[in-house]
Amino acid sequence: MTGIPFPDISPELVSVSLFGMQFALRWYALAYIVGILIGWRLSVAALRRPHLWAGGVAPMTPAQLEALLTWIILGIIAGGRIGYVLFYQPGHFLRNPWEIPMIWQGGMSFHGGFIGVMLAILLFSRSERLPLGGVADTIALASPPAILLGRIANFINAELWGRPTTLPWGVIFPGEAAQDCPGIVGACARHPSQLYEAGLEGLLLGGLLILLAFRWGALRQPWVLAGTFIAGYGIARFLVEFVRQPDAQFVSPGNPLGLALQWNGWGLTMGQVLTLPMILVGLWLVERARRSRAVPA
């Protein structure tokens, strides 16, 4: 099997040693920091254009958005970690509960983080008495940049790779696990599924949301952007899962939930099962918004 050799990129951008301890800035952390900043600026740009919103009034101020970002970061961390514990390795963490807060060792779930963000938006909107639909649309517009850069960081980390492939753009990822391809002699090339997700969930979906917000007047109909983001992410993730290597934790005997969700003969992965509700909810939100009359600026 032929393929493209994995580029020699260190997961650590810079590493320093202080007082006998090693500190490193990783591409993964930098990706989310920069992604959140870009998304924040996009949302601020929309909030400063009242004519884009229903009734010519933005749902919140830039200052309130900054306060909401703190809630969202907490929701991402708490939800992502709890989701990983419940969906990926419940047996391991049941035996070692003290490891649950050790997020620096890795282990986060997008779907858990998504639920955490939704709860943060709901609680913040209620506490500040803000329109929930407008707040959700604001955060939906800000999300794709972080997803785009985060998936590129997954590629740099040589993790979450795809299934073996003979396509010319297959990548030969390093490591024993990546090269464990039954029936394949020599180097094993795999789909760069991280880059597929970066293009679909980040670049394509983000471009669509920007056009909807700044050119096509979608912000005048609350929930259109949020519904489009939820359904769009779900569809993109569902499609990429066909060429993405299933997470080993989901198909191991130690995860009965993962085994139970491998539907009878359908061959659905856990990622596909978890995105089905997202697709349905997102499409329902868009259809519900379309049936309500747009409020002119």
Sign of the dihedral through C-alpha 36, 39, 41, 44: negative
Burial class, 185, CB count within 10 angstroms (exposed 0-12 / middle 13-18 / buried 19+): exposed
Structure token pair of residue 29: 């952390």
Cβ contacts of residue 22 below 8 Å, gap of 6+?
15, 16
Burial class, 26, CB count within 10 angstroms (exposed 0-12 / middle 13-18 / buried 19+): middle
What pTM was estimated for this model as a whole? Answer: 0.87
Cα 149 from Cα 96, distance rounded (Å):
32
Digitized pLDDT (tens) for each residue of the chain, 297 residues in all = 578 999 988 888 777 776 666 667 788 888 988 998 999 999 999 999 999 999 999 999 999 999 999 998 889 888 888 888 887 778 778 888 888 777 666 677 777 888 999 999 999 999 999 999 999 999 999 999 999 999 999 999 998 899 999 999 999 999 999 999 988 888 999 999 999 999 999 999 999 999 999 999 999 999 999 999 999 999 999 999 999 997 665 544 444 444 445 544 456 787 888 899 999 999 999 999 988 865 555
Dmax over CA atoms of the chain, in Å, equals: 64
Structure token pair of residue 192: 């760069």
Structure token pair of residue 126: 């209620």
> What Rg value do the Cα atoms of the chain yield, rounded?
20
Task: List residues forming the annotated binding site.
Answer: 151
- Nearest-CA neighbor of 35 among 189, 177, 143? 143
Between the two ends of the chain, the Cα-to-Cα distance in Å is 58
Structure token pair of residue 27: 């591409």
